[in-house]
Amino acid sequence: MTVEELLERLQGVRKTSHGRWMAKCPSHDDNSPSLSVTGNDGKILLYCFAGCGAHEIVTAVGLELSDLFPEKLEFSRGRTPRFPAHEI
């Protein structure tokens, strides 16, 4: 899932800076945006300033926590995976 696909499921979305948005939290009665959404290297980070947990938030829009992260790397048996050092 991309951050744009998640944002389509939220209300009151506004961009605050590059890769960051605020939206109304779907897991509580939110009158003004209190949910911070950040897209970073394929991961989606959520923070509700009212205290809702990520599990509550994704469940409210019909998703699972695993939808917020990129797919796992596939490893070949007996081989050491190679990936850029910045991903460690």
Q: Flag whether 82 is in a domain.
A: no
Q: Find the domain containing 41 and state its range.
A: 3-68
Q: How many angstroms separate the CA atoms of 53 and 88, rounded?
A: 26
Q: Flag whether 30 is in a domain.
A: yes
Q: Which of 27-31, 54-58, 84-88 has the lowest mean pLDDT?
A: 84-88
Q: Flag whether 58 is in a domain.
A: yes
Q: Flag whether 88 is in a domain.
A: no
Q: How many angstroms separate the CA atoms of 40 and 68, rounded?
A: 10
Instruction: Give the chain's length.
Output: 88
What total of structural domains would you count in the chain?
1
Greatest Cα pair distance in the chain: 54
Q: Flag whether 56 is in a domain.
A: yes
The model's pLDDT over 51-73, given as tens digits with 9 standing for 90+, comes to 999 999 999 999 999 888 877 65
Does the structure show a pLDDT above 60 at 35? yes
